[in-house]
């Protein structure tokens, strides 16, 4: 047990008894573990962030290239209209 659990156990033991305090802490620990397992898919890992960064970099590059081509095409069209 970690310090906080020991302190909680001591407080509960004084109020509800040794056996009940132990059972309560076991149930609480299982509940926390279950909740963590349910939520861990929402956690972000370093690898996930690296993959996202790579994907975003590619997307930004392609969008910028598309904008550059659109600007060049616009300038060419305006120059042709002015001739």
Q: Is the pLDDT of residue 63 over 70?
A: yes
Q: Where are the domains positioned within the chain?
A: 1-42, 44-83
Q: Tokens in use for 6?
A: 């020991």
> Are the beta carbons of 24 and 12 closer than 8 angstroms?
yes
Dihedrals phi, psi of 44, to nearest 5 degrees: -105, 135
DSSP string, 10-77: HHHHHHH-HHHHHHHHHHHHHHHHHHHHHHGGGSPPHHHHHHHHHHHHHHHHHHHHHHHHHHHHHHHH
| Spatial separation of the C-alpha atoms in residues 51 and 67, rounded to whole Å | 24
pLDDT digits (tens, 9 = 90+) for 19-52: 998 899 999 999 999 998 888 878 888 898 999 9
Q: Name the pTM for this structure.
A: 0.49
What value does the mean pLDDT take over residues 56-60? Answer: 97
- What pLDDT sits at residue 1? 57
């Amino acid at each position: 047990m970690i310090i906080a659990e020991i302190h909680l156990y001591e407080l509960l033991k004084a109020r509800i008894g040794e056996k009940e305090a132990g059972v309560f802490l076991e149930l609480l620990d299982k509940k926390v573990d279950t909740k963590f397992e349910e939520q861990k898919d929402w956690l972000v890992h370093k690898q996930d962030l690296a993959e996202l960064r790579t994907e975003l970099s590619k997307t930004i590059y392609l969008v910028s290239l598309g904008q550059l081509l659109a600007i060049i095409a616009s300038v060419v069209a305006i120059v042709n209209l002015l001739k």
